[in-house]
Amino acid sequence: MWALRKNKQQKGINDYKQEGFQFLKESYPLGSSFEYIGSTMIVTGHSEMMTFYHSVSCWPKLVCDYRDNLGRINQIRFTVDEARRLKS
């Protein structure tokens, strides 16, 4: 009977988020810097707030600031998978 089966825990979206936040905080602490395509990136955050039909969700993203050739400060965001590729 399906009611007597043990509940198998599957890796859910919250586990993915938690692992992502943990990886970003350990690998890229706030204020650290790294080179990316000839620019020095400075880590300024680990999350991005997104809205979906009157609800707000927080996703792990590597948020970095950099200065372009004109001297303006811009912001770029990397997903957790992209941040893992940058680390290797």
Query: Consecutive 10-residue runs of the chain (88 residues): their mean pLDDT?
Result: 56 78 93 92 90 85 93 93 88
State pTM to two decimals.
0.75
pLDDT at 50: 82
User: What is the predicted pLDDT for the residue at 13?
Assistant: 64
Q: What is the pLDDT of residue 65?
A: 95
**Exposure string for 40-74, b = 16+ CB within 10 A, e = fewer:** ebbbeebbeeeeeeeeeeebbbbbbebeeeeeeee
What was the pLDDT predicted at 58?
A: 86
Q: What is the pLDDT of residue 61?
A: 93
- The structural architecture, per CATH, of the domain 12-87 is Roll (2.30)
